Amino acid sequence: MRGRRLPLLHGWHLGGHEPELRALWRRADPPHPSGERRPPDGGAARKADRRGFRVRGRRRAARRYDDGPPQSIVVLSLLAFLLSAPTQGSTVQASLVSTSTEREPAVTTLSTTDLEELYRRLGHRFRRPELLQQALTHKSFAHESESSEHNESMEFLGDAILGFLVTDFIYRDFPTLTEGRKSKIKAYLVSASTLSLLAIGLEIPQFLLLGKGEEKTGGRKKKALSANALEAVVAAIYLDSNVDEARRFLESLYAPLIDDVREGRAVVEDPKTALQEFLQARSLEPAQYLVTAESGPEHRKTFQIELKVGPRKLGEATGTSKKRAELDAAQAALARLIEEEG
How far apart, in whole angstroms, are the C-alpha atoms of residue 71 and residue 68?
9
10 Å Cβ neighbour count for 145? 13
Q: Catalytic: 277?
A: no
Q: Report helix, strand or coil for 105.
A: coil
| Strand order from edge to edge, sheet including 312-319 | 287-295, 302-309, 312-319
| DSSP type of residue 285 | P
Element of type H or E holding 288: strand 287-295
Catalytic residue among 130, 149, 155, 159: 159
Q: Catalytic: 231?
A: yes
How far apart, in whole angstroms, are the C-alpha atoms of residue 106 and residue 103?
9
Catalytic residue among 130, 149, 214, 231: 231
CB 284 within 8 A of CB 291: no
What's the full length of the chain, in residues? 342
Question: For the packed helices 192-201 and 223-240, what is the interaxial angle rounded to 10 degrees?
Answer: 70
10 Å Cβ neighbour count for 38? 11
Written in H, E and C, the secondary structure of 189-256 is HCCHHHHHHHHHHCCHHHHCECCHHHHHCCHHHCHHHHHHHHHHHHHHHHHHCCHHHHHHHHHHHHHH
How far apart, in whole angstroms, are the C-alpha atoms of residue 9 and residue 169?
36
Q: Report helix, strand or coil for 28.
A: helix
- The residues assigned a catalytic role are 159, 231
